[in-house]
Amino acid sequence: MDGTETKIRAGYRVRPVGAGERDERASANAGEPTLEFAESLPYDAYVRAGTLHSLQEPLGEDPGEMSFLMITQIMELYFGLTRFEVDEAAARLRDDDVWGALRPLRRAAYDLEGLNAAWRGLRWMTPSDFNRFRDLLGEGSGFQSAMYRRLEFALGLRNAALARPFRGQPSVHAELVRDLRVPSLWDEVIALLSRRGFAIPAEVLGRDLTEAHESHPAVEAAWVAIYRDDTPDNHLRMLGEALSEVAERFSDWRYEHLKAAQRAMGGKAGSGGSAGVAWLRRGLDLVVFPELLSARTLM
Task: Say how far apart CA 136 and CA 264 lie, in whole Å.
Answer: 15
Are the CB atoms for 263 and 253 separated by under 8 Å? Answer: no
What span, in angstroms and rounded, lies between the C-alpha atoms of 282 and 254? 10
Helix (H, G, I), strand (E, B) or coil at 134: helix
Q: What is the DSSP letter of 14?
A: E
Which secondary structure element, helix H or strand E, spans residue 115, and what is its range?
A: helix 98-118
Measured distance CA(287)–CA(294) in Å, rounded: 11
C-alpha distance from residue 107 to each of 10, 96, 115, 173 (Å): 28, 19, 12, 28
134 annotated ligand binder: yes
- From the list 81, 82, 49, 56, the residue with the least C-alpha distance to 70 is 56
Rounded alpha-carbon distances, angstroms, from residue 126 to 62, 132, 253: 14, 10, 20
Specify whether the CB–CB gap between 150 and 54 falls below 8 A: no
Of residues 79, 81, 87, 90, the one with CA closest to residue 239? 90
> CB-based burial of residue 209 (10 Å sphere; 0-12 exposed, 13-18 middle, 19+ buried)?
middle
Name the binding residues for heme. Answer: 257
Name the binding residues for substrate. Answer: 134
Name the binding residues. Answer: 134, 257
